[in-house]
Amino acid sequence: MNETLDLASRVVWGGFCLSLILGFVAARTNFCTMGAISDVVNMEHWGRMRMWLLAIAVAIAGSSTLSYLNLIDLSKSVYQRPILPWLSILLGGTLFGVGMTFAGGCANKNLLRVGGGSLRSLVVLVFLGISAYMTLKGLFGQVRSSYLDPVVIDFSRFGMETQGLPEALSKLFGLPIESAALAVPGLMVITMLIFIFKDKRFRSNFEQIFGAVILGVLVTSAWYLSGHLGFAENQETLEMTYFGTNSRTIESLSFVAPTAYSLELLMLWTDKSMRITFGIATIIGVVLGSLIYSISSQKFRWEGFSSVEDLGSQLSGAILMGFGGVLAMGCTVGQGLSGISTLAIGSFIALAGIIGGAVATMKWQAR
């Protein structure tokens, strides 16, 4: 029993430390997915977008390497399951993109703002968490489970064990799976790096480059933490178990469902079955990391809503992000970094929805 608690604690504290670094680095480098999309749409400036793409490239390289060396089993992640609820993921990603534009930032950005003194973002996160919890287990969940999740593609019907892009291309072109597992992430990373570093201004921005590399390494480290260090035999059941995660399987960084679980823990604190998990610890870590940066840089400022219209826009965005984030199985970090790093087909669909929803909303707002 003590060994079980020690393993879970290792994963939880490890997640807290990783997210503490993420909060500090993301706050310092102004890492923001919505901001990156907005820069491209409104100013045709690709600086922050290249930073995001570099973080993705590092995460893909690191995660694929760990998987190839059999240090982690990404096929056990929720992203790689052979059943792909494509309608939920596409609709969820699109709604999340719309919501984060209304709210002025995704879940990660609002966590960073809370650390910087934003009470407005605190309210946004509360409503995001409530909406996400309703989609997981409440009223919205009925819509999800009855009408959206049943619309699926079953890759097992094509002889595939996962929905990973390497396995799909292996089946399509008759390549050995080992070769595809090296070639696909390798070609993707090389292509992305060429695009990223062809820009002279970005090559000279060492802070953004360093920040992107750190973010990609953190995603990889989270996979290793939950999928290797936290993977062991449960002394009670004698089965191999992933300790310390809400999903009971391998996890990396993601912030929508963990926000819901954080609210659940606060509301049911005296329930002895409730535990601080990896995901909940990352929520706390991001806020504290941002708080440390904002205080050390003297940028901490209290912030509230500027008007009733601002309140309505923010809360609408929060509800859409909570609902959409659960449908899409992740946010701009959960799918846009962690999910993409597994090369799951559903993650590319979710990311396309997030970007499409955000771009469409920005153009509508501009008109």
119-148 pLDDT tens trace: 999 999 999 999 999 999 999 999 999 999
Distance of alpha carbon 160 from alpha carbon 170, whole angstroms: 10
Instruction: Determine whether 234 is exposed, middle or buried from the number of CB atoms within 10 Å of its CB (0-12, 13-18, 19+).
Output: middle
Q: Find the helix or strand (DSSP H, E) in which 226 lies.
A: none
169-179 pLDDT tens trace: 999 988 899 99
pLDDT at 272: 86
Radius of gyration over every alpha carbon of the chain, rounded to an integer in angstroms: 20
User: What average pLDDT does range 156-183 have in this prediction?
Assistant: 93
Q: Per-residue confidence at 70, pLDDT binned at 50, 70, 90?
A: very high
User: What average pLDDT does range 31-43 have in this prediction?
Assistant: 94
Distance of alpha carbon 115 from alpha carbon 297, whole angstroms: 12
Nearest to 128 by CA among 317, 355, 288: 317
Distance of alpha carbon 128 from alpha carbon 257, whole angstroms: 9
User: What average pLDDT does range 292-311 have in this prediction?
Assistant: 95
Amino acid at 152: V
Nearest to 230 by CA among 2, 19, 1, 5: 5
Exposure class string for 4-15: b at 16+ Cβ within 10 A, else e: beebbbbbbbbb
Give percent of the chain with pLDDT exceeding 70: 99
> Is it the case that residue 19 has pLDDT exceeding 90?
yes
> Between helices 107-115 and 278-296, what is the axis angle to 10°?
50
- Cβ neighbors of 296 (< 8 A, separation 6 or more) are none
N- to C-terminal Cα separation, the chain: 60
pLDDT at 290: 98
Q: Find the helix or strand (DSSP H, E) in which 307 lies.
A: none
Amino acid at 21: I
pTM: 0.95
The answer to whether 19 and 344 are in contact (CB under 8 A) is no
Instruction: Quote the mean pLDDT of the chain.
Output: 95
Distance of alpha carbon 333 from alpha carbon 215, whole angstroms: 10
- Report in angstroms the alpha-carbon separations of 181 from 60, 63, 195, 341, 355: 11, 11, 22, 13, 27
Nearest to 37 by CA among 88, 104, 118: 104
82-109 pLDDT tens trace: 999 999 999 999 999 999 999 999 999 9
As given in the structure block, the two tokens for residue 27 are: 């706050």
> Is it the case that residue 282 has pLDDT exceeding 90?
yes
The answer to whether 326 and 305 are in contact (CB under 8 A) is no
Q: Per-residue confidence at 238, pLDDT binned at 50, 70, 90?
A: confident
pLDDT at 250: 97
pLDDT at 3: 58
> Is it the case that residue 367 has pLDDT exceeding 90?
no
244-280 pLDDT tens trace: 999 999 999 999 999 999 999 999 999 988 999 999 9
Q: Per-residue confidence at 4, pLDDT binned at 50, 70, 90?
A: low
DSSP single-letter state for residue 70: T
- Give all strands (DSSP E) within the chain, no chain letters: 83-84, 153-154, 231-233, 240-242
The answer to whether 52 and 138 are in contact (CB under 8 A) is no
Instruction: Determine whether 301 is exposed, middle or buried from the number of CB atoms within 10 Å of its CB (0-12, 13-18, 19+).
Output: exposed
> Is it the case that residue 309 has pLDDT exceeding 70?
yes
Amino acid at 14: G
As given in the structure block, the two tokens for residue 3 are: 């060994």
- Cβ neighbors of 191 (< 8 A, separation 6 or more) are none
> Of residues 366 and 285, which shows the higher confidence score?
285
- Beta strands 153-154 and 83-84, pairing class: antiparallel
43-54 pLDDT tens trace: 999 999 999 999
> Is it the case that residue 239 has pLDDT exceeding 90?
no
> Is it the case that residue 227 has pLDDT exceeding 80?
yes
